[in-house]
Amino acid sequence: MLLLNATYEPLTALSARRAIVLLICDKADAVHHNAEGPVVHSAGASIALPSVIRLRNYVRVPYRARVPMTRAALMHRDRYRCAYCGGKAETIDHVIPRSRGGAHSWENCVASCAPCNHRKADKMLSELGWTLRHPMVAPKGPHWRLLSTTADLDPVWLQYLGEGAA
């Protein structure tokens, strides 16, 4: 489940158990109900699990300069497409190979399909005559913190995550 701040800013993905506790303790409200979603039953009540919940009180989020680079976030940034051929990406490739001093950073890593990654190996793009399909930049925005921790998104969440999440 997606947890939103009181201002509808995305905070994190929650387990169903934690979301139920927030709802029962009146610390959060359901924002998006899923009609076919699961229902949790107890001895005295039944609660339909919503897809998205919102905190009733604003929580200050500490500022962090950069979004952490994770496999999930990199794949979302590149939209699961190979930076070289545009096919379905399965691996991560270092544009400047680590064996040649390349860093493991947003500015040097791209999503890649296995055949392109294997063909490139530890070569430079100039040696192969290849070019990148898009620039390598670090993503910005609050929704990228969530994307860096979650591999698969509920499509309902996209309307709360803002531009660039889709």
Backbone angles phi, psi at 2, to 5 degrees: -90, 135
What pLDDT does residue 44 have?
85
What pLDDT does residue 148 have?
60
pLDDT at 164 exceeding the cut of 50: no
**Spatial contact of 55 and 28, defined as CB atoms under 8 Å apart:** yes
In tens, the pLDDT along 21-50 reads 999 899 999 998 777 778 888 888 888 888
User: pLDDT tier at 149 (50, 70, 90 boundaries)?
Assistant: low
Between these two residues, 61 and 135, which has the higher pLDDT value? 135
Query: Domain 71-128: which topology?
Result: DNA Binding (I), subunit A (1.10.30)
What pLDDT does residue 53 have?
94
In tens, the pLDDT along 59-117 reads 997 766 677 888 988 998 898 999 999 999 999 999 999 999 999 999 999 999 999 99
Amino acid at 145: R
What pLDDT does residue 151 have?
61
pLDDT at 162 exceeding the cut of 70: no
What pLDDT does residue 153 have?
65
Q: Which DSSP helix (H) or strand (E) runs through 72?
A: helix 71-77
Taking the CA atoms of the chain, what radius of gyration do you get in angstroms?
A: 20
Q: Where in the chain are all domains bearing CATH 1.10.30.50?
A: 71-128
What pLDDT does residue 70 have?
86
Q: Residue 165: CB partners within 8 Å, gap ≥ 6?
A: 76, 143, 147, 153, 157, 158
Distance (Å, whole) CA 59 – CA 73: 24
